[in-house]
Homo-oligomer: A and B are copies of this chain.
């Protein structure tokens, strides 16, 4: 047992467990666990807070990864987008998101449009606030995925508006379908920590925007090949690297915290094994990308290695508990390979994904979700496919409509002149680097 799906179940059975415990205290010698309800409550809350701040730091990881991947005239604005979207997501997820997800009726489709408020009780097993915090940073992660793909040609404030809609409405709805105990949970879909719910959702929303926005001017030459070196060279590989290391660090919280409990022997063992599988999948993704690019291109592409780590991490996220270490390496390795070929696929379609978020989050997320039944006997391929299709179709279509409406009203793309000058100057008025060598 474990995974975010069981949160719903825990809310239901919490009071029963608590009652059982109270009865049990009179005969402690026969207790299943020696952890009192209150001590368990504190452990679980502590897990949410620690894992939550790790996931919060992923917002910084995305900001650095994206800052390093864009050209040096669009760095200030990508920083503004990242700090801005994290702020917007935080407020929206309090204002409407949390209850839109968790206020859903059993097997239903949508929750309630009300702000979150604290209703902690020992019975529920953890402080409500710690759960809100943990879920909020997941919501923000979803939005972070979008910002990089659309970099260098999207207007700042329309992006912020989309961030509000994605974090407040779109993500919470699909989140409720599964983790709120909605219709997908009822249909047997399984997504432990969000390969589909978080990563594919972000990737699908980004893809819709990228298609409507079009590529950066001059990105593809007349033959349709991308200009990979200047003037589209990544501005700073070490920033991409620190970004990926921060994301890797944060993923221990992302997957480990999704066990949702740390107050029993079983949960402590589970969280530990999740840490291991999460790490090994990332290792597999890095090395697979290194080997593939070395053999195919003659050079070991560091950017693909770094994105390969993300691909591996995304792939294991749907089921980080059940795989053996070897299976985790392989699942992550396939994620890394998907990133390399997915990048090529987007190039061939002339879709300009500045940071490679669509291959790493959408494509690897689909793989990871469909791979769950390989290691988890309680799941099956049908519901997994259903979840992948329904969530991605819903998110892509709604995001496409939202982007399209914005495009035809306020406009979403910068002028060619502004694009040439650089978004840093036109949007934020602050150049990113003023370095005198």
Q: A245-B57, A300-B156 are in contact. Are A25 and B35 (CB under 8 A)?
A: no
Contact A256 B133 (CB under 8 A): no
Chain B residues with CB under 8 A of A76: 237, 302
Q: A118-B273, A268-B127 are in contact. Are A80 and B434 (CB under 8 A)?
A: no
Contact A272 B128 (CB under 8 A): yes
Chain B residues with CB under 8 A of A260: none
Nearest CB of B to A47, in Å:
8
Contact B302 A430 (CB under 8 A): yes
Contact B230 A434 (CB under 8 A): yes
Nearest CB of B to A365, in Å:
20
Is A388 located at the chain interface by the 8 A CB criterion? no
Is A429 located at the chain interface by the 8 A CB criterion? yes
Chain B residues with CB under 8 A of A434: 71-72, 230, 233-236, 437
Nearest CB of B to A135, in Å:
11
Chain B residues with CB under 8 A of A326: 115
Binds B, one of A59-67, A182-190, A195-203, A407-415: A59-67
Contact B34 A39 (CB under 8 A): yes
Nearest CB of B to A83, in Å:
6
CA distance A52 to B298 in the complex (A): 36
CA distance A71 to B435 in the complex (A): 8
Is A351 located at the chain interface by the 8 A CB criterion? no
Is A252 located at the chain interface by the 8 A CB criterion? yes
Chain A, 26-67, contact with B by CB distance < 8 Å: what is the 0/1 string?
101100011111110111011111101110110110011001
Binds B, one of A86-94, A212-220, A373-381: A86-94
Binds B, one of A99-107, A168-176, A281-289, A341-349: A281-289
Is A269 located at the chain interface by the 8 A CB criterion? yes
Is A129 located at the chain interface by the 8 A CB criterion? yes
Interface residues in A132-165 by Cβ distance below 8 A to B read 132-133, 136, 156-157
Interface residues in A109-138 by Cβ distance below 8 A to B read 115-116, 118, 120, 122, 127-130, 132-133, 136
Contact A88 B237 (CB under 8 A): no
Q: A53-B54, A269-B120, A430-B302 are in contact. Are A238 and B64 (CB under 8 A)?
A: yes
Which residue on chain B has the smallest CB distance to residue A232? Answer: B434
Chain B residues with CB under 8 A of A306: 79, 83
Is A8 located at the chain interface by the 8 A CB criterion? no
Q: A94-B280, A303-B430 are in contact. Are A130 and B88 (CB under 8 A)?
A: no
Checking B42, B120, B262, B437 against A35 with a beta-carbon cut-off of 8 angstroms, the contacting residue is B42
Is A366 located at the chain interface by the 8 A CB criterion? no
Nearest CB of B to A129, in Å:
3
Checking B88, B94, B279 against A133 with a beta-carbon cut-off of 8 angstroms, the contacting residue is B279
Residue of A29, A272, A280, A436 with highest tally of chain B CB at under 10 A: A272
Extra 6 A-B pairs, beta carbons < 8 Å, given A128-B269, A235-B434: A64-B241, A83-B245, A83-B309, A120-B269, A297-B429, A301-B428
Q: List 7 A-B contacts (CB under 8 A).
A: A46-B268, A52-B275, A83-B241, A87-B282, A88-B287, A115-B325, A234-B434
Give the top 10 A-B pairs by smallest Cβ distance, nearest first. Answer: A129-B272, A60-B245, A34-B36, A233-B434, A299-B429, A87-B283, A127-B272, A130-B272, A80-B302, A79-B241
